[in-house]
Amino acid sequence: MHPFAAPSPASRFRRLRRTPALRALAEETSLSVNDLIWPVFVRDGSGVRDPIASMPGVNRLSIDLVVQAAEQAANLGIPALCLFPYTDPALKTAGCEEAWNPNNLANKAIRAIKAAVPDIAVMTDVALDPYNANGHDGLVRDGIILNDESVEALVRMALVQAEAGADILGPSDMMDGRIGAMRQALEAAGHKDVAILSYAAKYASAFYGPFRDAVGASGALKGDKKTYQMNPANSDEALRLVARDLEEGADMVMIKPGMPYLDICRRVKDAFGAPTYAYQVSGEYAMIKAAAERGWIDGERVMMESLMAFRRAGCDGVLTYFAPEVARVLQRNR
């Protein structure tokens, strides 16, 4: 595009900003409830709503309450939920066997949601960290995060989630080759229509802190994730990762975190035109909530502006803990 602007007074940009109607007509991008994926934390028990201190307004929910949340989300028009389990520390092992237990918390939640609210899409997390005694996304031997052994474990985990009825698998582990391995295994097992939303460009970020509290991984994690998650200094590498994951069979791709990486979102959308999502992660949510609680910013307006920024940067949708709040604001402003 060659932006054209006549000199003033032929062009006065303020003409189209004068009234709400003119501003609406000139609006380039839009935000709708269809653009939201709501990440939800699941825990055991029943009737349990367990607040997460570093994520005001976000709770770990027992499965019965997750089903209620799914009903609320469906009523608001939110198209998808993404489930993250808070696993009992007693079930965490170095072999991560609980990850492919068909009756683990995540798989039970998938079945319960699909039985009660069949129309909402259920997305999963495919990574070993909620089940790993050392908090890593892959299997660890002698301090090394093993790639190919981890991929085998992740494939097992993915198949069990597909079997439980997941609509979208979300590999967040950043091992090499996992998308192709999962896609082949899904085809072979007859799960031809299960979608994969690859966390293709996932950075080794300090913005994940509150999430690790939420899933109980903070204490467990030994070291950092820099040998598998991306260096925040890199951008071309993100394009190569997205290309690779699309070739291996990803249907959708994600950039994570969100707001500090909008340049990556734009590059990925322009280069591939594939369904592109960003994850507005826990630390981004916590910063907005914390400043709003102190009265330093208008939380609702900052929330809406942040979501519009993702759309403007080329994202088709956003995983955000704000999803139900955003949906309510959109409903009110209709």
What is d(CA 156, CA 2) in angstroms, rounded to the nearest whole number? 50
Residue with tokens 């598998």: 228
Residue in the shown chain whose Cβ atom is closest to ligand PBG: 211
Count CA atoms within 13 Å of residue 122 on its CB side. Answer: 30
Burial class (CB in 10 A: 0-12, 13-18, 19+), 176: middle
40 part of the interface to ligand PBG, by CB under 6 A: no
Question: Any contact of residue 111 with ligand PBG (CB under 6 A)?
Answer: no
CB of 282 to ligand PBG, least distance (A): 3
* C-alpha closest to that of 169 among 222, 238, 99: 99
Binding piece for ligand PBG, criterion CB under 6 A, among 62-70, 122-130, 297-305, 310-318: 122-130
> How many Å apart are CA 79 and CA 38, to the nearest integer?
9
3-class secondary structure, 70: helix
State which residue, 205 or 276, has the beta carbon closest to ligand PBG: 205
Site string for ligand PBG, 280-299 (x = CB under 6 A): -xx-----------------
Distances (CA, A) of 324 to 77, 167, 213: 9, 20, 21
Round to whole Å and give the CA distance between 282 and 208. 6
Count of positions on this chain that bind ligand PBG (CB under 6 A):
11
Q: Binding of ligand PBG at residue 87 (CB under 6 A)?
A: no
Nearest residue (CB) to ligand PBG, 73 versus 322: 322
Quick check: 38 binds ligand PBG (CB under 6 A)? no
Please report where in the chains the tokens 């690779």 appear, as a residue.
Answer: 244
Whole-Å CA distances, 88 to 40, 44, 139, 163 = 17, 8, 19, 23
| Omega of the bond leading into 9 within 30 degrees of 0 (cis) | yes
Nearer to ligand PBG, 5 or 214 (CB): 214
| Residue from the set 52, 80, 98, 129 that interacts with ligand PBG by CB under 6 A | 129
Regarding 132 and contact with ligand PBG (CB under 6 A), the answer is: no
Spatial separation of the C-alpha atoms in residues 33 and 103, rounded to whole Å: 32
- Determine if 208 is a binding residue for ligand PBG (CB under 6 A): yes
Task: Quote the least distance from Cβ 271 to ligand PBG, whole Å.
Answer: 24
Catalytic residue among 92, 202, 225, 289: 202
DSSP state of 232: T
Specify the DSSP element, H or E, that contains 255: strand 252-256
Active-site residue flag, 222: no
State the Cα–Cα distance between residues 130 and 125, nearest whole angstrom. Answer: 10
Q: What x-and-dash track marks residues 137-176 binding ligand PBG by CB under 6 A?
A: x----------------------------------x----
Nearer to ligand PBG, 66 or 281 (CB): 281
202 is catalytic: yes
Shortest Å distance, C-beta 97 to ligand PBG: 17
Q: Which one, 100 or 208, has the nearer CB to ligand PBG?
A: 208
**Is residue 213 close enough to count as binding ligand PBG by CB under 6 A?**
no
Binding site for ligand PBG (CB under 6 A): 125, 127, 129, 137, 172, 208, 211-212, 225, 281-282
Question: What amino acid positions are annotated as catalytic residues?
Answer: 202, 256
